[in-house]
Amino acid sequence: MKGLGILWLVVFISLMGFGITTIPFPLVTEQMGASDFWKTFGGPGVFSVFQLIATPIWGRYSDSLGRKPILLFSLAGSVLAYIWLAYANDLVSLLVARAFGGIMSGNLAAAYAYAADVTDVKNRAKGLGIIGSAFGVGFALGPPLGGFLGTDAAGAASLHWPALASAALSLLALLATWLLLKESLAPENRKPLRAAPGSAATASGGSPFAQVTANAVLMGLMIAALVVAIGGASMQSIYQFWSRDLFQFSLREVGFQFMWFAICSILGQVILIGPLVRRFGEKTVALIATACAAVGLLMFAAAMQPWFVWLTIAVFGVANGLFLPSVSSLVSFEADPRNRGAIMGAFNSASSAGRIVGPAVSGPLYFSLGHAAPYLFAALLTVLGGVLLLRAKPRPAAAAPGAPPA
Residue 187 within any structural domain of the chain: no
Nearest partner of 349 among 102, 39, 81, judged by Cα: 102
Residues 72, 102, 324, 273, CA torsion sign: positive
Total domains in the fold of the chain: 1
* pLDDT at res. 27: 92
- Is residue 196 included in any domain, yes or no? no
Backbone angles phi, psi at 7, to 5 degrees: -60, -40
143 and 259 in contact (C-beta within 8 Å)?
Answer: yes
Among 356, 391, 41, 132, smallest CA distance to 230 is for 356
Q: Is the dihedral of CA 254, 47, 171, 129 positive or negative?
A: positive
151: phi then psi, degrees, rounded to nearest 5: -125, 125
Query: Rounded to an integer, what distance in angstroms lies between the CA atom of residue 309 and that of residue 316?
Result: 11
For 76-217, strand residue ranges (E) read none
pTM summary value: 0.74
> What are the Cα distances from residue 377, in Å, to 91, 249, 359?
28, 24, 12
Q: How far apart are CA 346 and CA 14, in angstroms?
A: 21
In a domain, 188, yes or no: no
Q: Is 152 among the domain residues? A: yes
C-alpha–C-alpha distance, residues 148 and 169, integer Å: 16
Distance CA 235, CA 84 (A): 27
Cβ contact 340:63 at 8 Å? yes
Determine the pLDDT at residue 232: 81
Show the beta-strand stretches assigned E in 170-244. none
Residue (of 263, 221, 157, 200) closest to 390 by Cα position: 221
Contact 28, 163 (CB under 8 A): no
Q: Does a structural domain hold residue 231?
A: yes
Side chain identity at residue 290, one-letter code? T
Distance set, CA 287 to CA 197, 331, 347 (Å)? 40, 15, 18
Residue 162, domain member (yes or no): yes
- SS3 state at 151: strand
Cα–Cα distance for residue pair 28/200, rounded to 1 Å: 51
* pLDDT at position 168: 92
pLDDT for residue 92: 95
Q: What CATH number does residue 148 fall under? A: 1.20.1250.20
Residue 190 lies in a domain: no
- Contact of 135 with 7, CB cutoff 8 Å: no
Please, which residues have CB within 8 angstroms of residue 281's CB and are 6 or more apart in sequence?
396
- Reduced to 3 states (helix: H, G, I; strand: E, B; else coil), residue 190 is coil
- Show Cβ contacts of residue 134 under 8 Å, excluding neighbours closer than 6 positions: 7, 8, 9, 10, 11, 12, 15
Question: Would you tell me how many other CB atoms lie within 10 Å of the CB of residue 385?
Answer: 28
CA distances (Å), origin 231, targets 169, 318, 353, 384: 29, 15, 11, 10
Output helix, strand, coil percentages for the chain, rounded to the nearest 5. Answer: 80, 0, 20
Query: What is residue 241's predicted lDDT score, i.e. its pLDDT?
Result: 92
Q: DSSP letter at 404? A: P
Per-residue pLDDT of 204-219, as tens digits, reads: 455 556 666 666 777 7
Domain assignment present for 192:
no
Q: Is 307 exposed, middle or buried (0-12, 13-18, 19+ CB in 10 A)?
A: exposed
Residue ranges for the chain with pLDDT beneath 70: 1-3, 106-107, 125, 193-215, 336-338, 341-342, 345, 392-406
Distance set, CA 148 to CA 23, 52, 70, 276 (Å): 10, 31, 32, 37
pLDDT at 235: 81
Structural domain of 162: 4-182+205-396
